């Protein structure tokens, strides 16, 4: 079990609960590479208590395995159909203006009672840290109004802005839940920089990523990136191969910590290729 819960998140949760009473649709931003691991159960409880429809936005789809993302969209479609509640899922990259521009129309589809200028469509962006909420906000408004960075918990307070055309949008700080019960989820969140580096040791995160996902599922990407033969490698030998290739050496030989940072940076930035950390069948 992993715990990473900065103090300001308690305040953010209370404020989000209050604001939910005044919005029509929750836009829940997820990381397309780990949609369920990046889905905060606390957010689900808050919106279901207020009975608010949800648009699940699988952001960073340009970094995820496209075939796996397609499976996730079908997974969420079937789940919404079984639950008989208004919900949709869409895969986008906030870096593409055209992708972000689709969001308001999708929100209107699941909140059809807010289709008049006299009744503005009030949307609220929610999600865990570092999934791209502020980037989406900026893309929708076509200007920089929210701070963006590759560190978790950049946004610290809410802001509501007018989108025009009878729509308002509220951005919220990233919300984590106090205890990540599923260990694999914690490692995936750490690998994707959704939780801070103080939560899980860097080398342990890289070893999890290598042994559980990259070596069994994406060996050709490793071979292409690091010019190594991943066959019969384990996590430690992969880190040592990366260390040898990149000159990561310390007093005692290979510096696996530095090699771990290289591997994580390559995964996070997409230099490794399009990688998904979980598939729908993994959640069974």
Per-residue model confidence as pLDDT tens digits over 220-264: 999 999 999 999 999 999 999 999 999 998 877 899 999 999 999
Q: Do domains 8-171 and 201-283 have the same CATH topology?
A: no
Whether the CB-CB separation of 38 and 31 falls below 8 Å is answered with yes
Q: Cβ atoms within 10 A of the Cβ of 232, count?
A: 7
Return the domain boundaries, the chain. Answer: 8-171, 201-283
List Cα–Cα distances, 136 to 183, 194, 202, in angstroms. Answer: 29, 16, 28
Q: Say which residues have a Cβ less than 8 Å from residue 211's Cβ, sequence separation at least 6.
A: 234, 235
**pLDDT value of position 153:** 47
pLDDT: which is higher, 235 or 180: 235
At residue 21 the predicted structure's pLDDT band, cuts being 50, 70 and 90, is: confident
Residue 181 pLDDT more than 60?
yes
Residue 152 pLDDT more than 50?
no
Q: What homologous superfamily is domain 8-171 in, according to CATH?
A: P-loop containing nucleotide triphosphate hydrolases (3.40.50.300)
At residue 8 the predicted structure's pLDDT band, cuts being 50, 70 and 90, is: low
At residue 33 the predicted structure's pLDDT band, cuts being 50, 70 and 90, is: very high
pTM above 0.95, yes or no: no
At residue 166 the predicted structure's pLDDT band, cuts being 50, 70 and 90, is: confident
Q: DSSP string spanning 7-64?
A: THHHHHHHHHHHHHTT-SEEEEEEETTSTTTT--HHHHHHHHHTT--EEEEEE-TTTS
Alpha carbons 65 and 80: distance in angstroms, whole number:
23
Alpha carbons 131 and 169: distance in angstroms, whole number:
17
At residue 65 the predicted structure's pLDDT band, cuts being 50, 70 and 90, is: very high
Backbone angles phi, psi at 124, to 5 degrees: -135, 125
| Per CATH, domain 201-283 is 1.10.1580.10 | yes
- Supply the mean pLDDT for the chain: 88
Average pLDDT over residues 74-99: 87
**pLDDT value of position 19:** 85
């Amino acid at each position: 079990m992993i715990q990473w819960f900065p103090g300001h998140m308690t305040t953010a949760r209370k404020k989000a609960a209050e604001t939910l009473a005044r919005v029509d649709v929750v836009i829940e931003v997820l990381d397309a590479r780990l949609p369920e691991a990046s889905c905060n159960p606390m957010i689900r409880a808050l919106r279901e208590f207020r009975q608010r429809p949800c648009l699940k936005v699988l952001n960073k789809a340009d970094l995820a395995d496209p075939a796996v993302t397609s499976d996730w969209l079908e997974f969420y479609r079937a789940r919404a159909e079984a639950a008989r509640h208004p919900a949709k899922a869409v895969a986008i990259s906030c870096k593409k203006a055209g992708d972000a521009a689709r969001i308001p129309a999708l929100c209107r589809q699941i909140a059809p009672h807010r289709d008049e200028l006299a009744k503005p469509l009030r949307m609220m962006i929610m999600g865990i840290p570092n999934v791209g909420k502020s980037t989406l906000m900026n893309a929708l408004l076509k200007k920089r109004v929210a701070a963006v960075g590759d560190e978790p918990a950049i946004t610290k307070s809410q802001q509501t802005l007018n989108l025009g055309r009878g729509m308002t949008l509220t951005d919220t700080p990233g919300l984590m839940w106090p205890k990540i019960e599923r260990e694999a989820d914690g490692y995936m969140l750490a690998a994707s920089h959704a939780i801070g580096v103080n939560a899980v040791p860097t080398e342990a995160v890289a070893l999890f990523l290598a042994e559980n996902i990259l070596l069994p599922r994406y060996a050709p990407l490793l071979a292409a990136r690091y010019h190594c033969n991943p066959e019969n490698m384990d996590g430690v030998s992969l880190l040592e191969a990366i260390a040898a290739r990149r000159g990561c050496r310390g007093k005692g030989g290979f510096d696996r910590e530095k090699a771990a940072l290289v591997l994580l940076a390559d995964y996070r930035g997409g230099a490794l290729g399009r990688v998904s950390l979980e598939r729908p069948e993994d959640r069974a």
